[in-house]
Amino acid sequence: MGEILQLLFDRIETPIGEMLIVADCDGYLRAVDWTDHETRMRRLLRLHYGEDGFRLEPGHNPSRLTDAVRNYFAGDLSAIDRLPVETAGTPFQREVWRALREIACGTTLSYAKLAERIGRPTAVRAVGLANGSNPIGVVVPCHRVIGTNGSLIGYGGGIERKRWLLEHERKHSNN
């Protein structure tokens, strides 16, 4: 049996609900989700690290990640740009998640354009599924992906949160 991954979590209030921030002891962000979706987050952690592969404990502001996320919500959008993230997931999922971080703040991209960007133009549905299983929402900005027709679709935190995040970024962005 492998080593058990120790994870620390913190909770912060945001303008759109309470958020959970999960980091490992090396300071890598492992998961972010809304507290009303905590069950989903824990399920994803079990899926990625195994039923008994991690231990989740309270930890105040692990590696100052909570401060960075709080600053993002206060209007300093660049506060989360270079936060260190570490995820499990398949190589394809991680490729999609890396590409999400390249979408400029204050802008959006369609699922089809994201599939093209990673060199897999026919994998639109697979890109959508990978986007939907992103464990580090907001920091790995899956909310910036929209339908080809410009519609706001497919955000696990809810469309109202997606709308708020996009408006927040447009308001505070230099793009």
Domain limits of the chain? 5-80, 91-172
Helix (H, G, I), strand (E, B) or coil at 27: coil
pLDDT at residue number 29: 96
Q: What is the pLDDT of residues 34-75, one digit of tens each?
A: 999 999 999 989 988 999 999 999 998 878 999 999 999 999
105 assigned to active site: no
Tell which CATH classification among 1.20.950, 1.10.10, 3.30.160, 3.10.28 matches the domain 5-80.
3.30.160
pLDDT at residue number 94: 95
Mean pLDDT of 153-173: 92
**Average pLDDT, whole number, for the chain?**
93
Going from the C-alpha of 120 to that of each of 56, 96, 160, the distances in angstroms are 36, 10, 30
pLDDT at residue number 61: 84
Confidence band (pLDDT; 50, 70, 90) for 1? low
φ and ψ of 83, to 5 deg = -60, 135
Mean pLDDT of 152-169: 92
What value, to the nearest 5°, has the Cα angle with vertex 41 and ends 35 and 47?
170
pLDDT at residue number 9: 94
Say whether pTM exceeds 0.85. Answer: yes
* In contact, 128 and 142? CB cutoff 8 Å: no
CATH topology of domain 91-172: Arc Repressor Mutant, subunit A (1.10.10)
Q: What is the pLDDT of residues 65-75, one digit of tens each?
A: 999 999 999 99
Q: What is the pLDDT of residues 73-108, one digit of tens each?
A: 999 999 999 899 999 899 999 999 999 999 999 999
Per the residue annotation, which of 142, 145, 165, 166 is the catalytic one?
142
Q: What percent of the chain has pLDDT over 70?
A: 98
**What is d(CA 133, CA 19) in angstroms, rounded to the nearest whole number?**
17
Going from the C-alpha of 56 to that of each of 92, 111, 126, 134, 136, the distances in angstroms are 26, 33, 30, 19, 16
Residue linked to tokens 């993002």: 72
Asked whether the predicted pLDDT for residue 175 surpasses 80, the reply is no
Determine which helix (DSSP H) or strand (DSSP E) holds 9, and give its type and residue range. strand 5-14
